[in-house]
Structure formats: C-alpha cells, structure tokens
C-alpha cells in the first residue's frame, strides 16, 4: 500500500539527505508539513542511537526487530505518520524501511528485515541519494573531525560498500510494476547542494497537498 503525501529520503551515511531536508524545512510551512526521521526520538529510537554508537551491543537480528519496532510506532503511534497524514500534512522522513533492507540485510539476510517491514505502507515518493561510498564516508569523517562527533558502527568502508550494493538492489526490486504507485527518484548526490535542492523542490512544490 502506498501512502499519499508521504515522502522518504534514503541514502548512505554522508550522502546529504539531512542537509536537503533542512533546506526544505526552511521553505515549507509547519502547518502543512511534518518533518521526521528514523531512528525516531522515541525511547526505541534512543536505544538504537546508543546501539549505533556502540554503547549497547545487540545481536544483528535484534537490531532488525528494533528498527522495525521503532518504525511501527513511528507510523501508528500518537501524532505519528498516519495521524499527521490524516490531519492533512505532507510528511517527509529522513530514512524509512529501505534503510532496514539495506543495512540490516547484511548481517541477517534479506528475509528477516523484509518480512518485518512488508506490511508497512510505502511512501508516495522515494528519493534515493546516489553517491559512491568512498565519497560519502569521506564526508562523514570530515564532519566528525570538525565537530568532534563520534562516528557510528556502520560507518566503515566495507560496510558502506555493501550497503550501497544493497540499495541498488532495493531500487531495482521496488521498480517492479507491482510497486509502480511509489515513485522512485534517483538523485545524483555528488551534485551541488543547490542543484539537488532545485531538483527536489521542482517535484515537491508541485504536490497538490501544498496548493492553497
Ligand atoms: P543517520 O540517518 O545518518 O543519522 P545521523 O546523521 O543523525 O547519525 O544515521 C542513522 C543510522 O542508522 C544510519 O547508519 C543507518 C542506520 N539505520 C539502520 O541501520 N536501519 C534502519 O532501519 C534505519 C532507519 C537506520
């Protein structure tokens, strides 16, 4: 099932999704949009952030369940994705189930994350930020050096290279006719921030929900 007015940004760590979401946030009225992200700010998401920093160690299968749990509440919980859409808002999420398919797939095969996530609604638009893992990871490290921010357990070249391959397979899988209600837009994430923003804005600004 595709949820209209639901937009998802996906890509490797460092591919620029958060920067683009911030630019959109500056242009879009709060009355009409809900900008969100996964992992969420709920307790489940905070647990996952600790796991990502390596402060909590769990089995890779448990991570797949945890990300799906966090997502289930993100979708169905009070003031979550469904509530916001039903209130007439455009919802934009930085990451969604495609991250689980790309990242959790590596340690526990496609079946577990796929089965845990297959009942969740698909977005109307999936923007995939396409960037070579060497380049996106370079950005992650440059940012960490600048801010002193700790890097996360998945931010390693071998892992990101595999994640990139998984994303490519996911795009192919969801390009099948049975999923044609979800529009997939591949963004060349090596382009300038402004160019990427203009491309995204040319699509989002025309959405009927933003009219009036
Ligand atoms: P990210 O979105 O880059 O946020 P931040 O910049 O705040 O660290 O990081 C989230 C990490 O979580 C990223 O490495 C991908 C990972 N992740 C999964 O492995 N599975 C998932 O289902 C989701 C939503 C994220």
Question: Could you read off the pLDDT of 175-185 as tens digits, one per residue?
Answer: 999 999 999 99
Output phi, psi for 14, to 5 deg.
Answer: 90, 5
How do residues 35-74 score in pLDDT, each as one tens digit?
999 999 999 999 999 999 999 999 999 999 999 999 999 9
**Which pair of tokens denotes residue 23?**
């630019």
- How many structural domains compose the chain? 1
CA of 39 to the centre of ligand 1 (A): 6
Distance 212 CA to ligand 1 centre (A): 35
Q: Which domain CATH number covers 67? A: 3.40.50.300
Structural domain range at position 195: 2-211
Q: What is the pLDDT of residues 70-125, one digit of tens each?
A: 999 999 999 999 999 999 999 999 999 999 999 999 877 889 999 999 999 999 99
- Whether the CB-CB separation of 93 and 9 falls below 8 Å is answered with yes
80 touches ligand 1 (CB under 6 Å):
no
Q: What residues pair up with 89 in beta bridges, in sequence order?
A: none
How far, in Å, from the CA of 31 to the mean position of ligand 1?
27
Report DSSP letters for 142-210, one per residue.
HHHHHH-PPP-TT-SHHHHHHHHHHHHHHHHHHTSGGGTTSEEEEEETTS-HHHHHHHHHHHHTT-GGG
């Amino acid at each position: 099932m595709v949820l209209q007015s639901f937009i998802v940004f996906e890509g490797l760590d460092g591919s620029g999704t958060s920067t683009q979401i911030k630019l959109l946030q500056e242009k879009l009225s709060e009355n009409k949009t809900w900008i969100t992200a996964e992992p969420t700010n709920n307790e489940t998401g905070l647990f996952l952030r600790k796991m990502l920093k390596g402060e909590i160690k769990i089995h890779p299968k448990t991570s797949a369940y945890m990300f799906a749990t966090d997502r289930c509440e993100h979708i169905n919980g009070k003031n979550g994705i469904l509530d916001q859409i039903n209130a007439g808002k455009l919802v934009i999420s930085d990451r969604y189930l495609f991250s689980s398919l790309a990242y959790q797939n590596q340690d526990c095969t496609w079946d577990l994350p796929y089965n845990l996530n297959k009942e969740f609604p698909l977005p109307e638009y999936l923007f995939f930020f396409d960037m070579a893992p060497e380049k996106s990871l370079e950005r992650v490290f440059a940012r960490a050096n600048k801010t002193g921010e700790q890097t996360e357990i998945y931010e390693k070249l071998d892992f990101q290279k595999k994640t990139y391959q998984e994303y490519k397979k996911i795009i192919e899988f969801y390009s099948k006719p049975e999923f044609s209600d979800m529009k997939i837009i591949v963004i060349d994430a090596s382009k300038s921030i402004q160019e990427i923003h203009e491309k995204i804005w040319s699509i989002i600004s025309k959405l009927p929900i933003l009219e009036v």
